[in-house]
Each structure stands twice: as structure tokens, then as C-alpha cells.
Amino acid sequence: MLGSAHEHSCAQPNASSAHKFSRLNSCAELAADLVHKFMASVGDGWTQGYDAVMGTVRILRVYEEPDAGEYRVLVDRLWPRGVKKDKIDLWLKDVAPSAQVRNDFDHVPERFETFTRDYTAELRANPAVAQLRDVIAGHQHVVLLYGAKDTQHNQAAVLLEFLKHPA
């Protein structure tokens, strides 16, 4: 590993131990910054995710393939068409918006602000949120799956934001 660090100017030969440690810390900070910039540039699925206590949580359309090792949680109240049960690890339909809130929204982007307000109010009083938090705490990588076509205006995006900032 030191050889590859040396190739990338993160370590210097014949430097003191303290200096090498300082250089390695600088390299770690540089690497963290590069990863952050990369994740911000690759698209909605990653930029909408967040780091949980010891893992990551992100959202993804149920019709897309999750990464290997991700625990797949369907957060829709209705089962999506054409999806086989072996593509889902857990169906947590109780964390989805009520039929009333979902039908009022009807996936009309102009109604998303009202939908966000109403669904967030439901989430604050929903015991299924605690269950979802337990699931997240128990898995290294979790992907919240949803069926909506719109990747920005959907309940999973609101749920993920709520999990990040439960205000």
C-alpha cells in the first residue's frame, strides 16, 4: 500500500514517522473529498443517499438493479407491477403515505410541496418509521425501493429526507 501511496505523492521516502503520518492524514482527507465530489456527480440515486450510523441508505426505483449487498426495502403501499417477491428483502408498506395523501398527490409535480408537508406530518406520528430505523441500523447498506416513474417527486425521496432530518 505504501507503494501506491508513494506513486500518488501521499508518502515520501525517508521522511520521519510523524511527517509520514501527517501526509497520510492529508491523503485521507483528499480521498474523502474526492469520494464526496464523485458521489455528488453521479446522479440522483447516490446524491439523495446518506450515511447512516455505520452504513448507507439511498433510494432507487424498484425496476432498477440495486448494488450487490444492499438490503432492499420496498416503501410503497402497493406492490409494483411485474416485480417478483425475490427482488425485495422487506416490504414495509406501513411507512408509505396514506391512501388519502397519495391520491391527493397523484404524482403531479405541482402538488409535491403539499404532498411533502402532508406525508412528513404522517411520518412524525408513524410507528413504522422506528421499524425502518431498526432495519437501517441492522444493515450496512440499505436501498429504499419505490415504483414511481419520477425519480425526484416521490414518497421515497420525502422519506429519505425525513430520515436524514426528522424535524
User: What are the backbone angles phi and psi of residue 43, rounded to the nearest 5°?
Assistant: 125, 175
- What integer pLDDT is reported at residue 165 of this predicted model? 85
Domain count along the chain: 2
Give pLDDT, residue 116.
96
The pTM for the full model equals: 0.68
pLDDT mean by block of 10 residues, the chain; 167 residues: 38 46 48 44 46 76 95 96 96 97 94 96 96 95 96 95 85
89 & 76 share domain: yes
Query: Are 145 and 157 in a shared domain?
Result: yes
| Domain shared by 52 and 116, yes or no | yes
Phi-psi region of 69 (alpha: psi -120 to 50; beta: other; left: phi over 0): left
Look at residue 167 in the predicted model and tell me its pLDDT. Answer: 61
| pLDDT of 166 | 74
* Residue 143 near residue 71, CB atoms below 8 Å: yes
**How many angstroms separate the CA atoms of 76 and 81, rounded?**
12
Provide the residue range defining the domain that includes 18. 2-41
Residue 52 shares a structural domain with residue 127:
yes
Same domain flag for 36 and 48: no
Task: Looking at the structure, tell me whether residues 30 and 59 fall in a common domain.
Answer: no
